[in-house]
Amino acid sequence: MRARRSATLHAALFLAPAVLLLLIFRVVPAVSALTHAFTTWDGVGAARYVGLENFRGLLADPIFRQALRNNLLLVLSVPLWIAVSLVLALLLHNEIPGWRFFRGSFFLPSVLSPVIVGTLFTALLRADGPVSRGLGAVGVPVPEQGWLGDPATALPTLVLVILWSIFGLGVIVFLAGLAAVPQELFDAARVDGATGLAHLWYVVIPALRHVIEFWSVNLVVWSFTSLFAFIYVMTAGGPGYATMLVEYQIYEQAFKFNRMGYGCALATALLLLVFGLVLVQVRLMTTDEDGA
Amino acid sequence: MSRIAPVLALLLIAVAVAAVGCTAKQPSPPPAAGPASAGGPPGQVTLTVWDWHAADPSKGVGLWLANIDKTFEAAHPGLKINHVAQSHTEYYEILKTAAAAADPQRGPDVVMLHQGSRVLDQRQSLVPLDKYVTPETRKEIVGWELVSDDYDATRTPWAVPIAVQGLVWYYNKALLREVGLDPEKPPAKWGEFLAACDALRKAGKAGIAVGEKEGFWADWFLNSAYLQTCSAEDRPRLRSGEMKWTDPSLVAVLVRLQELADRNCFQKGALSTPLFPDAGEVFMRGDAGFFLGLISDVAHWKEFGDMMGAEKVGVMTCPVFQESPDASKFPVGGAFTYAITKWSLHPSEAFQYIAFIAGDENARTFLTEVGSFPANQSFDHSLIADPNAQKIAQWLAAGRTGPQLGDMLPAAIGEAFRREAQSMLAGTTTVAGALEAVEKAAQESRRRGE
C-alpha cells in the first residue's frame, strides 16, 4: 500500500511541471480568449459583454471567408506535403547512392527558423531575384510582380516554400516508421513481384498507415495554427488578401486594430474548426480501420 | 517518501509563486512617497523612455536622442534617462502589452508615438497634457491638432509633436536631363508627368520607384494627391461617414493611381518591393526618375542628397490633375511625438524631459544634424544649406501645406485601403470595387465606435 502511494506520488511529481505549464500557457489563455470572445475589448480597458455579436460579425466578414478559403487550400496541399516526404524517405530507406548525405541535408531546412526561410525565399522570389531570372532565361513565363507579388501565384508559392521548410521533418518521421516495419515484409513483397507503384500502394502505405495518419493530423493542425511567421515575413497576407490566413487575421484584428474581443472570437472559431477537422479525420481513420 | 517530501514542498512553492505571478494582473500600488525609482541612488529619478529611433545611437535620430539624454542628465542631476529601443514594426503591439501590465516599475514613463490616430487611440494609457503645455509652447510648436481631442488644436493635447513629416516628390535631375526634360522645371501637370514616365521607360528606366509590398505607397499617393480633389472640410466628413469613400473626389485619386499602373510607370515587381529601403534604393541607384518620399527621418532630401549628391536631386509637389485651391500643397503630418504614460510615477519629470527634447536648441540640432524638420518652428531658417530642404522650408513657411488624410483614420480603415489598393494594382479588383470595400470597412469601424 505504501509502495503504491509512493508510486502515485512519484507520478504526480513528474507530471506536475508539465501540467502546470500546460495550465499557465495553454488552458488559462484559452479560457480567457473564450470568455473575451463574447465581449468588445481593446485589450487595455474594461471588456463589455456583447453576447454573440462577434460571432455574427465573423459570419458576415468577407476577409474571414477569404482567410478561411486560403486555409482550406493549404489543407488541400497536405497530401502533397506527405507524398514528397514519403517518397524521399523510401529512397533513403532503400539506401540510394549518397543517402547519408541526403538524410542530413533533407533535415537541414527543418531546423531553420521560419523567419530565416521566409527572408531567404522573399529575396529569391523577387521579380528581379534569381528564381525569376533563371526561369526567364530558359523561357519560362514569370510573374511581372514577382512570385509573391502576384495574387495568382502568391499562395501556391507559399505552399511550396512551406513544403521546402517541413518536408525534412516528414522524411525523418517516415524513416522512423519504415525502420519499425519488419524487413521480411518488404522481402516477401519483392519475391511476390511487387515493384514500383504496386509496392508503394499495397505494401509501404499499409505498413506506414499509422505514421501517415499521425503526420497528416499534425500537418492539418499545423496548417491552421503555425504558419504565422511565414506570412508575417513573406507577404503580410497580401497582395490584397491573397495569402491572408485566419491566424494572421487574428493578429491584425487583436493587435493592429485593437479589436481584442473580435480577435478572441476568431481564435475561438479557429480552435473549434481545427478541433472539428481533427475529430473528423481521426473518426474517418478509425472507422476505416474497424471496417478493414 | 522522506526524499520526496522536500521536492514536493519545493514544487508547491513553485506552484504558489507561479500562481501569484499569474494572478498579479493589476499593477502594484505606487510607492507611498519619494521620487526615487527602484535601483537608482537615493533621490534619483529614472525615466524610462521607449521609442523606435534609439536602436542605432551612432547616427541620425538615434545619435541625436543619445546626445539629448546626456545633455539632459547633465542639466538635471537628479534625473536619469533609461532609453529603450523598441521595434518599429511591432511597436504598438509591444506598447499595448505594457499598457495592459501598467507596471510603473518596469513600463515606460515616456513613449514615442506617431501623430494622429496613433496618439488618440492610446489615450487611456496616457496623461492629458493640459496642465503642462504652456501657451508659449503651443505657439512655438506646430501639429497640435493631430495630438488633441477631436483633432482640435484648442482641446486637450495627449502628446507633444517633435518632428514635422510630409510627403513630397523627389526626382533625379540627371535622368530627367537624359530624357530631354528640364530638371529645373519638373513636370507640374499630370499629363507632363505621364509623358516624363513614358520617356524614362523608353530610356530603360522606371518612371517611379514604388514599394507596394506593404501597401504604404498607395496610401502615400492618396495622401499626396487628395488635396487636389477634396476640401479641408472633407476630412472630418470622411471620418464621420458623412462623406463616403465612394465619393467622386476619392474615385478621381484612385483612377490616377490605376492610370500610373496601367501606363507601366512603376519599376518591375513594385507589388513585391518593400517601400523601406528597397524602393528608395531603386531611386538612389538611378533606376527610376521619381520617388514619392518624406521630408523627415528617412527616404528624404538628406538621405538622397548624401547618396546621390544634393545637386542631382530635385523636389516637387504632386503633379496636378485637377485644379483646386490646394492643388499645389503637400500633406504634412504623421511624424513622431512624445507622450507620458498614465502609470508613470514621475509625470512632471517626464514632461520636463519631453519639453527639453522639443526645446529651441534641440529643434535646431534636429534640423542641422539629423536633417529633419522640427515641429518647433523657432529655428533659424538660414541654417538650412541643402537646396531641396530650403525649398521645403519655404513651402512650410508659406503655408503650402495641407493635412494628411490618413492621420485621422482608424488603423483598420487605413489597412483596408492599403490592401484594396494592392488588389486594384494587381488587377483583382477595380477602382469602384476597392473603394466600396474600404467604405464597408469604414462603416464597420464606425459601428465599433473607433
pLDDT at B18 over 70: no
Smallest Cβ–Cβ distance between A9 and the set B4, B99, B124 belongs to B4
Instruction: Say whether both B216 and B345 belong to one domain.
Output: no
Average pLDDT over residues B154-182: 95
- Answer for the pair B1, A6: CB distance below 8 angstroms, yes or no: yes
Residues B277 and B424 in one domain: yes
In contact, B279 and B291? CB cutoff 8 Å:
yes
Quote the CA–CA distance of B323 and B70 in Å, as a whole number: 50
Quick check: B272 and A148 CB within 8 A?
yes
* CB burial string A232-264: b at 16+ within 10 A, e below: bbbbbbbbbbbbbbbbbbbbbbbbbbbbbbbbb
pLDDT at B8: 47
Q: Does B66 touch chain A (CB under 8 A)?
A: no
pTM value is 0.85
Q: Which residues of chain B are within 8 Å of residue A252 when distances are taken between CB atoms?
A: 415
Count chain A–chain B contacts defined by CB atoms under 8 A: 117
| Cα Rg of chain B (Å, integer) | 25
* Spatial separation of the C-alpha atoms in residues B185 and A180, rounded to whole Å: 78
- A13 to B420: CB separation less than 8 angstroms, yes or no: no
User: Would you say residue A56 lies in a domain?
Assistant: no
Tens digit of pLDDT for each residue in A224-240?
999 999 999 999 999 99
What mean pLDDT, rounded, does chain A reach?
91
Kindly state whether residue B175 falls inside one of the protein's structural domains: yes
Residue in B124, B411, B423 closest to A240 by CB: B423
* Cα distances (Å, whole numbers) of residue B185 to B178, B189, B202, B323: 14, 11, 20, 19
Does B148 share its domain with B220?
A: no
Q: What is residue B171's three-state secondary structure?
A: strand
| C-alpha–C-alpha distance, residues B409 and B439, integer Å | 12
B165 Rama class: left (phi>0) / alpha (psi -120 to 50) / beta: beta
Looking at the complex, does the CB of residue B16 fall below 8 Å from at least one CB of chain A? Answer: no
Q: How confident is the model at residue B16 (pLDDT cuts 50, 70, 90)?
A: very low
pLDDT tens-place string over residues B390-404: 999 889 888 888 888
Flag whether B154 is in a domain: yes
Helical H segments across B301-430, by residue range = 301-308, 347-357, 360-365, 387-397, 411-426
Whether the CB of A148 is below 8 Å from some CB of chain B: the reply is yes
Do B181 and B295 lie in one domain? The reply is yes
Who has greater pLDDT, B40 or B157?
B157
Mean predicted confidence (pLDDT) in A32-61: 93
pLDDT at B27: 39
Max Cα distance, chain B (Å): 93
User: Which of B341, B346, B336 lies closest to B372 in space, CA to CA?
Assistant: B336
Using 50, 70 and 90 to split pLDDT, how confident is the model at B17? very low
Inter-chain touch A240–B428, beta carbons under 8 Å:
yes
**List of E strands, chain A:** 39-40, 48-49
Cβ-based burial of B388 (10 A; exposed 0-12, middle 13-18, buried ≥19):
buried
Classify B316 as helix, strand or coil. strand
Q: What is the pLDDT of residue B403?
A: 85
* Contact criterion met (CB < 8 Å) for B271 and A13: no
Which DSSP category does B142 fall into? -
Contact B271 A146 (CB under 8 A): yes
**For B216-253, what is each residue's pLDDT tens digit?**
999 999 999 999 999 878 888 998 999 999 999 999 99
**B124 contacts A10? CB cut-off 8 A:** no
What is the structure's pLDDT at B105? 77
Q: Which residues of B touch A17 (CB under 8 A)?
A: 11
| Burial profile B207-220: b = 16 or more Cβ within 10 angstroms, e = fewer | bbbbbbbbbbbbbb
Q: Which of B426, B415, B291 is nearest to A147 (CA)?
A: B426
Regarding whether B411 and B267 lie in a shared domain, the answer is yes
* Position B215 in a domain: yes
Asked, for residue B22, whether it belongs to a domain, the answer is: no
Question: Does residue B383 form part of some domain?
Answer: no
Which chain A residues touch B265 with a CB distance below 8 Å?
none
Question: What's the pLDDT score for residue B42?
Answer: 66
Do A122 and A149 meet the contact criterion of CB atoms below 8 Å apart? no
Cα-flanking dihedrals φ and ψ of residue B225, to 5°?
-100, -20
A231: which 3 cell numbers?
A: 506570412
Q: Does residue B124 share a domain with residue B222?
A: no
Helix, coil or strand: residue B76: coil
**Any domain includes A18:** no
The predicted pLDDT at position B372 comes to 86
Q: Do A9 and B22 touch (CB under 8 A)?
A: no
Q: Which of B11, B22, B420 sits opposite A240 (nearest CB)?
A: B420
> What CATH number has the domain bearing residue A217?
1.10.3720.10
Task: Please check whether residue A41 lies inside any domain of the structure.
Answer: no
* Number of domains observed in the structure of chain A: 1
How many of the other CB atoms lie within 10 Å of CB of B442?
A: 23
How deeply is B57 buried, as exposed, middle or buried, from its count of CB atoms within 10 A (0-12, 13-18, 19+)?
A: middle
Domain region containing A71: 61-257
Higher pLDDT, B101 or A252: A252
Of B409, B403, B433, B411, nearest in space to B421 by CA: B433
Choose the closest CB to A240 out of B7, B92, B422: B422
Q: Is the pLDDT of residue B422 over 80?
A: yes
| ipTM given for this complex | 0.87
| B1/A6 touch (CB, cutoff 8 Å), yes or no | yes
CA distance B271 to chain A (A): 5
| Mean pLDDT on B366-388 | 86
Report the gap between the CA of B157 and the closest CA in chain A (Å). 20
Query: What percent of chain A is modeled with pLDDT above 70?
Result: 98
Position A286 in a domain: no
Would the pLDDT of B28 be above 60? no
| Residue of B271, B417, B425, B443 to mutate, interface with A, max A Cβ within 10 Å | B271
Task: Give the CATH number for residue B321.
Answer: 3.40.190.10
Q: Could you give the angle at the alpha carbon of B276 between the alpha carbons of B270 and B281, nearest 5°?
A: 70
Q: Give me A78's grid cell.
A: 497536405
- Which of B11, B22, B96 lies nearest to residue A16, judging by beta carbons? B11
- The gap between the terminal CA atoms of chain A, to the nearest Å, is 44
SS3 A95: coil
- What's the pLDDT score for residue B15? 44
What does the pLDDT read at residue B233?
A: 84
Burial (CB count within 10 angstroms: exposed 0-12, middle 13-18, buried 19+), residue A277: middle
Q: Which DSSP category does B28 fall into?
A: P
Nearest-CA distance A89 → chain B (Å): 35
Nearest C-alpha of chain A: how many angstroms from B383? Answer: 40
CB spacing of B419 vs A242 below 8 angstroms: no
Q: Across the interface, do A256 and B11 touch by the CB < 8 Å criterion? A: no
Categorize the per-residue pLDDT at A133 as very low, low, confident or very high, splitting at 50, 70 and 90. very high
A180-237, pLDDT tens digit by residue? 888 888 888 888 887 778 888 888 889 999 999 999 999 999 999 999 999 999 999 9
pLDDT at A290: 57
- Residues comprising chain B, all counted: 450
**Nearest-angstrom CA–CA distance, B210 and A119:** 20
- The pLDDT tens digits for B191-218 are 999 999 999 999 999 999 999 999 999 9
Residue pLDDT, tens place only, B298-344: 899 989 999 999 999 999 999 999 999 999 999 988 789 999 999 99
Beta bridge partners of B401: B330
- Predicted local confidence at residue B104, as pLDDT: 79
Q: Does A14 touch chain B (CB under 8 A)?
A: no
Whether A149 maps to a domain, the answer reads: yes
> Given this model, what pLDDT does residue A64 score?
97
Range of the domain at B222: 167-332+403-447
Asked if residue B371 and residue B413 are part of one domain, the reply reads no
Q: Give a yes or no: residue A267 inside a domain.
A: no
Structurally, chain B folds into a number of domains equal to 2
| Nearest-angstrom CA–CA distance, B168 and B315 | 7
In this complex, is the C-beta atom of A153 within 8 Å of any C-beta atom belonging to chain B? no
Do both B429 and B296 map to the same domain? yes
| B395: in domain | no
CA separation for the pair B210, B217 (Å, rounded): 7
Rounded Cα–Cα distance for residues B1 and B446 (Å)? 64
Touching check for A150 and chain B: CB below 8 Å?
Answer: yes
What pLDDT does residue A11 have?
A: 92
Q: What pLDDT does residue A1 have?
A: 65
Greater confidence (B212 vs B146) lies with: B212
Q: What local confidence, expressed as pLDDT, does residue B382 receive?
A: 82
Question: Residue B11 falls within a domain, yes or no?
Answer: no
Any A CB within 8 A of B287 CB: no
Higher pLDDT, A272 or B37: A272
Whether the per-residue pLDDT at A21 is higher than 80: the answer is yes
End-to-end CA distance of chain B: 60
Q: Do B22 and A24 touch (CB under 8 A)?
A: yes
Confirm if B445 and B413 have CB atoms less than 8 A apart: yes
Candidate from A62, A127, A236 with C-beta closest to B214: A236
How many angstroms from the chain centroid is the CA of residue B333?
A: 8
The residue length of chain A stands at: 292
Asked if residue B95 and residue B174 are part of one domain, the reply reads no
Q: Do B285 and B408 belong together in one domain?
A: yes
| Residue B191 and residue B225 in one domain | yes
Q: Which stretch of A158-172, A200-214, B279-293, B420-434 has the lowest confidence by average pLDDT?
A: A200-214
Cβ of residue A156 closer than 8 Å to a chain B Cβ: no
Contacts of A241 in chain B (CB under 8 A): 419, 423
The CA distance from B390 to B315, in Å, is: 10
Nearest to A255 among B96, B419, B429 (CB): B96
Domain-located, residue A220: yes
A231, B114, B316, B360, B384 from B365: Cα distances, Å: 40, 21, 25, 9, 11
Task: Tell me, yes or no, whether A154 lies in a domain.
Answer: yes
Q: In chain A, what is the greatest distance between 2 CA atoms, to the nearest angstrom?
A: 79
B329 interfaces chain A, CB cutoff of 8 Å: no
